[in-house]
Amino acid sequence: MAIDYRAILNEVVSHAAESGFFNNVNSHEPIRSHPGSGLTASVWLDSITPIRSSGLATTSVLVVLTVRMYRSTVASPLDDMDAVLADAVSALMDAYQDDFTLGGLVRHVDVFGAYGTPLGVKGGYIQQLESEYRVLDLKLPLVINDVADQAA
């Protein structure tokens, strides 16, 4: 498949870094270290699925990235926990919709989930290296045209 994953990842990470909300932005899921102090974002590949929008002899795909936002559950003030995360995720959702093609790297962000996964957010908590974090996981579905030719 001809997916320029590094370029797409770099563009998604750049939007998070340029938002001004995050102290750290990682292009991987931090599994062996703490996410970082303050508000942190991490981006990684969630799935790649062929979709029914391909040409007659090509395959297009839906690439779903996870953009996870972390904040320590001991950060003060506790009453601002979700508001701070919601402001950050709202800014990212706006950025990914404004740059609908990620600079021409993808056909479009699948905002409404025409191919399965819509642009959306789910909250939760995770335990990592004896620390607890409030997280919001943004699912970023990207439609990419004609990544592979089909044999005739």
**Element at 93 (helix H, strand E):** helix 81-98
Q: Which domain holds residue 33?
A: 5-149
What's the pLDDT tens digit per position in 141-152? 999 998 877 776
> What is the count of structural domains for the chain?
1
Asked whether the bond before 77 is cis by omega within 30 degrees of 0, the reply is: yes
Give one DSSP letter per residue of 16-41, joined into a string.
Answer: HHHTS--SEEESS--SSS---SSSEE
Token pair of 124, please? 């939760």
> What pTM, to 2 d.p., does this model score?
0.91
What's the pLDDT tens digit per position in 63-94? 999 999 999 888 777 778 899 999 999 999 99
**Element at 38 (helix H, strand E):** none
CATH number at residue 93: 3.30.2000.10
